[in-house]
Chain A
């Protein structure tokens, strides 16, 4: 079995949101240091305003392995990498590594605007622990990988942001490291450069240990051998990437469901971003039921992209409505993203037999695959008779989650690909 290059044991780190608490903490540490005492590991109780950015985090990575770290923003991923990079120190536990470590956290660190790209290769390379001879041996590869050509001798400050990132990235990955820490930086450059970076990392994978922090589940799944899911600084799951991603997505879904009520309140307080609201005209319309996949649409609901959708509505209308129409419009950020509309589909609503002057209407609409990719939508139910609105009201928010496929954009429909 290959050697263990990264060892993280019971790692804990706390931060303070309270400026006074922060100063108090600094004062206590300075005072203790003046008498040559260290507080690390001796002060594990949380004080007012403090919170655990990391707590009891343990894992190890062997040479040849890539570990993916996932979690929502503020889960502690970057704090963990900062501690591993020795940019920050833990309050308890340890984070150790063997061999040369290169952090791809803040790529522009150590690059000086007034120096040329070539000079920066030597400056940054030296900071990464390379000798002048080693840098000289890699110089051509670095320039070639960064695709800078003749621009390498121009001052660094004249580079575009893409060129800067490519150079920084290229220097770092040619640093003959044993351990790479990669924090979302694989999103630099265009798709071609990104793929090139992955190919390069793939070629290094056998001889190095890597930790990749990413919000891209597909990147984690295709590149990592194992994964850790962090939430509120604690490890929620670790193991095979597919299992950990599944746990993560379930947890995020549950979180979204819990907070989805707030979205409704917030959208109401922001004013109408989904057109005019018209109360149901009670003398003309009585709404019985509106549901999506059997869930009452007056409550928040969660759907998954690509799943089958069944919309059901039943209501009563007074007398005979000549040009009755129904639409369910999904809004996002004030834009109509997707409609289910009887009129547009040429569907004529049939009203049932009259009971005490009221006629029942029962409607269903089936969609084979939900085309919305992800996000939170406000569905608005519109029922009108010709130009006369009987109601136009928003329903409970609908959260749409991505399926496991790798998909961009707001909208995606099933396709059939052929090749010959």
Chain B
């Protein structure tokens, strides 16, 4: 199941539905981009959707709230592992590109994961107050893939592309894809600011959660 949406986009790239991209084949562009997008979207949606359930789960035991959240993250990690294996196989056998993997990708990926997790926790906290937050974010995560430079380069989107170019998820996907495929990384000021802000958000979200786990235990 985790490779179904990815496989769907890969098939579409095989039949030339997507446009050409500078520097890499459309197959590589789409498969790496979708994999990163699904990981980041999962890191936002898992804590956002499971936070209330996790806080409720605290009522019957003395486990920490993070241990409840990690159950959902473990599923995501397994799904990501399958996707990575699938993409490696596809690229090995079908991609004409020479992959110049830059190990810095791990660092950037790790920071991006922490930022997205922090955003997810923060959104989950806001969702406790306003129940529609998660619904709105899920709509963005469902359709945002088309306007975040994941399968279509933002340069192809015209004026909308200029706006979407500052989309945080576009910056993350673009940076990681460049590092993984081309091995080069042109540090974008926006991306660095975004990572710093993301880490601040992570600290804020986790410290808020630390207080909330006591404040809301037995109240939800």
Contacts and interface: CB of A to CB of B under 8 A. Distances in A.
Interface of A: 13, 22, 25-27, 29-34, 36, 38-40, 82-83, 85-89, 106, 109-110, 127
Given A87-B60, A89-B214, A30 B129 contact: yes
B218 A87 contact: yes
B62 A86 contact: yes
B218 A38 contact: no
A38 B211 contact: yes
A89 B62 CA distance: 12
Contacts of A89: 214-215, 217-218
Given A40-B214, A87-B58, A127-B61, 17 more contacts: A22-B219, A29-B215, A30-B128, A33-B212, A34-B208, A36-B208, A40-B215, A83-B218, A86-B62, A86-B217, A87-B61, A87-B217, A87-B218, A88-B218, A88-B219, A89-B214, A89-B215
Nearest to A27: B129
Contacts of B215: 29, 32-33, 38-40, 89
B125 interface: yes
A87 B220 contact: no
B57 to A, nearest CB: 10
A85 B129 CA distance: 27
A30 B212 contact: yes
B188 interface: no
A22 B220 CA distance: 8
B218 A82 contact: yes
In the complex, the 7 A-B pairs of residues with the closest C-beta atoms, listed nearest first: A88-B218, A33-B211, A27-B129, A29-B215, A89-B217, A33-B212, A33-B208
21 contacts: A22-B219, A26-B128, A26-B219, A27-B128, A27-B129, A30-B128, A34-B204, A38-B214, A38-B215, A39-B215, A40-B215, A83-B218, A85-B62, A87-B61, A87-B62, A88-B59, A88-B217, A88-B218, A89-B214, A89-B215, A127-B63
Residues of B in contact with A, size category: 20 to 34
Contacts of B220: 26
A25 B219 contact: yes
B212 A106 contact: no
Question: Which of A26, A39, A82, A110 is most buried by chain B, counting CB atoms within 10 A of its CB?
Answer: A26
A29 B125 CA distance: 11
A36 B207 CA distance: 8
A105 to B, nearest CB: 8
Nearest to B212: A33
Interface in B196-220: 204, 207-208, 211-212, 214-220
Interface string B32-66: 00000000000000000000000000111111000
A87 B214 CA distance: 9
A297 B139 CA distance: 70
Nearest to A85: B62
A121 to B, nearest CB: 17
Contacts of A26: 128-129, 216, 219-220
Contacts of A32: 215
